[in-house]
Structure 1
Amino acid sequence: MRPKPIYTQALLIALIGRVFCSDDEERLMMDVFRGYNSLIQPIKNISDAPIIVRVALQLVLLINVDEKDQIMHTNVWLTLKWHDFQMRWNPVNYGEIKEIRVSPDKVWLPDIVLFNNADGNYEVSFMCNVVINYHGDMLWVPPALYKSSCIIDVEFFPFDEQVCTLMFGSWTYNENEIKLEFEQAEWVDLSEYAPSSIGI
């Protein structure tokens, strides 16, 4: 049986579309990063400071609570949003591409770390891509495994209730240079939380 020509045409059109899309994206990347310096804060003038960084935290798993060593071990997704005025383009000029994904070492990142870590590991566990839209809005959602210090009082165990705090901030910028704002009223998002025997 002879194959139907319509399938061959459809496949050819799809492949051509991919080539054009790839060309558009390559051209966009070259144009957007031409003259870009990831070491410079994404503000036009010093008077535009502070940079607003919107923060959200999604608790995925409460791995362990160590009463003896006063340590809480968590698996979280840290969400950071900010604006970079240099990362803007007109989608019409680039095949209607409205979003790109780039390696975090290519762009300026807010150096937000966990201050009250208990193991000397301040950084996230995986340097995933940064999602950038054509308005210059930056979104970075790196996963992290944190061990944080937590004062645990077990006097009323097993009816005790513990409050553990995760303290985040910029490592090198002061409050006049970076301002952290919570993305939502609830400080911790539990929508992806996987219940464990420890509970929360």
Structure 2
Amino acid sequence: MTKAIVRWDGTITWKPPASYKSSCTMDVTFFPFDRQNCSMKFGSWTYDGDMVDLVLVDRYVDRSDFFDNGEWEILNATGRRGSRRDEVYWYPFVTYSFILKRLPLFYTLFLIIPCLGLSFLTVLVFYLPSDEGEKLSLSTSVLVSLTVFLLVIEEIIPSSSKVIPLIGEYLLFIMIFVTFSIIVTVFVINVHHRSSATFHFADMEMRSPELKTRKGVGGRRGGAPPRGREDQNHAWAAMLEKATSSVRYISRHIKKEHFIREVVQDWKFVAQVLDRIFLWAFLTVSILGTVLIFTPALTLFFSSP
């Protein structure tokens, strides 16, 4: 039972001791830099306007009894009077609209800044030497971290299939970004460890002409040495031929090793150049993507209600 104040002019003031709870559909497109417009409508659907009339005392809601909230800030709270008519009767109502702005400091510190840091860690993957296996480990760790952040955000924001939240778009962008960086890193490491295995070095051998002694008069070879000396010369010639063959083999082997080293160094240089190209390309894409995604939300956040 509550008290009603009856005045001399017939005005009755009744303040019901009740707490009204209202819910409204949230637009999480620009979460966590979003604004929400929630409305509360008061009216009588039992008595028409001739029996119960609602009068709007002030257009602006008195916020002297409002408590500060750590997540939301009231930008504007206004009321307006309207009426609904049918064939015979009319029904007055009063609608109060509350424009709320989310305070994004908590989400900025614990969600957005870590995501920005992870995105730039992905860029630093291409700054590591090409022969380091930690390049893939770093990229995979960043991808797992982003997946955890996505699960955390899914629990925070209201479930909705109509729009994708801003922070969700950014996380998906970074996850695609990191996945592509892993593919590129695998390609660069493969290039770095390539060699000349598919190249076959041609065996080149120079044959010396066989020298014969000159024939003398009557068909005899002129200046022919005695038999013992001739055998000794053949032995020295065989040893010299073996030594020459060994020298040629060593020379071919050294040339081949030198060629292989040159090819390997060329592939390493190509991998280093690719790393630098992808470093600047990914850095540019990361900065542009971040600016393009967050600019509309920040513009709306700092604009007047």
Q: Which has the higher strand share?
A: 1
TM surpasses 0.5: no
Q: TM-score, normalised by structure 2?
A: 0.22
Q: Which has the higher contact order (CA 8 A, sep 6+)?
A: 1
The higher radius of gyration belongs to 2
